[in-house]
């Protein structure tokens, strides 16, 4: 598998395609799973399996595990990321896999906005248009374009 290396263009494209397939299939898989079992149980099983795979990899490659669990930052990131997965699985009980994928991945819109507000990063006019279109898309997905859902709330 010499072609699947980070220093070859073919390997990079193959890696990206594998990543896209994995991420793209996750929402339908989670949707099916939460229809068959408790959302929290599914998330627990997913994280335990992932942790075991990472630990086995680290042991096999003789990399230090201690660095992953020392300090507050990895724990804060792990907890907040875990909460995001819990909310995603819970939300999939109420919407389609397509809608969930679009809503979760609108984080790009919020990242650009928060980076501008909190870090003072400049937002170019095309990015501003993209943010507006993204927010309009979120509105349409969550309300089916029905303004009264917001006004009556």
Q: What is the pLDDT of residues 23-62, one digit of tens each?
A: 788 888 888 888 888 888 888 898 899 889 988 988 888 8
d(Cα 43, Cα 91) in Å, to the nearest integer?
13
Model confidence over 77-116: pLDDT tens digits?
889 988 988 888 888 888 888 888 877 878 888 888 888 8
Please tell me the distance from the alpha carbon of residue 19 to that of residue 23, in angstroms, as a whole number: 6
Q: How far apart are CA 119 and CA 113, in angstroms?
A: 10
pLDDT of residue 152: 63
- Mean pLDDT value of segment 63-87: 83
Q: Are residues 52 and 113 in the same domain?
A: no
pLDDT, greater one: 31 or 6: 31
The predicted pLDDT at position 7 comes to 66
Check whether residue 52 and residue 25 sit in a common domain.
yes
For residues 34 and 92, the answer to whether their CB atoms sit within 8 Å is yes
For residue 110, give its domain range.
Answer: 106-147
85 plus 121 within the same structural domain: no
Confidence (pLDDT) at 48: 92
Per-residue pLDDT tens over the stretch 111-153:
888 888 888 888 889 988 988 888 888 888 777 777 776 666 5
DSSP character at residue 152: -
Structural domains of the chain, count: 2
Residues 53 and 124 grouped into a single domain: no
What pLDDT, on the 0 to 100 scale, is given for residue 149?
64
Buried b (16+ CB within 10 A) or exposed e, 18-48: eeeeeeeebbeebbebbeeeebeebbeebee
Query: Does one domain contain both 25 and 61?
Result: yes
Domain identity same for 36 and 110 = no
Query: What is the length of the chain?
Result: 153
C-alpha span between 142 and 149 (Å, rounded): 9
Does 117 lie in the same domain as 42? no
Q: Taking the model in full, what pTM does it have?
A: 0.61
Looking at per-residue pLDDT, the higher value among 18 and 66 belongs to 18
């Amino acid at each position: 598998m010499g072609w699947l290396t980070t220093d070859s263009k073919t390997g990079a494209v193959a890696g990206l395609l594998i990543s896209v397939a994995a991420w793209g299939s996750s929402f339908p898989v989670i949707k099916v799973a939460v229809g068959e079992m408790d959302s929290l149980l599914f998330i627990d099983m997913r994280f335990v399996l992932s942790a075991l795979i990472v630990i086995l990899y680290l042991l096999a490659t003789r990399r230090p595990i201690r660095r992953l669990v020392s300090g507050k930052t990895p724990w804060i990131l792990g907890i907040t990321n875990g909460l995001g997965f819990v909310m995603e699985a819970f939300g999939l009980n109420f919407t389609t896999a397509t809608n969930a994928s679009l809503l979760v991945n609108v984080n790009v819109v919020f990242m650009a906005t928060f980076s501008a507000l909190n870090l003072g990063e400049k937002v170019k006019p095309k990015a501003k248009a993209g943010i507006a279109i993204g927010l309009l898309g979120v509105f349409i997905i969550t309300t089916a374009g029905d303004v009264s859902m917001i006004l009556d709330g």
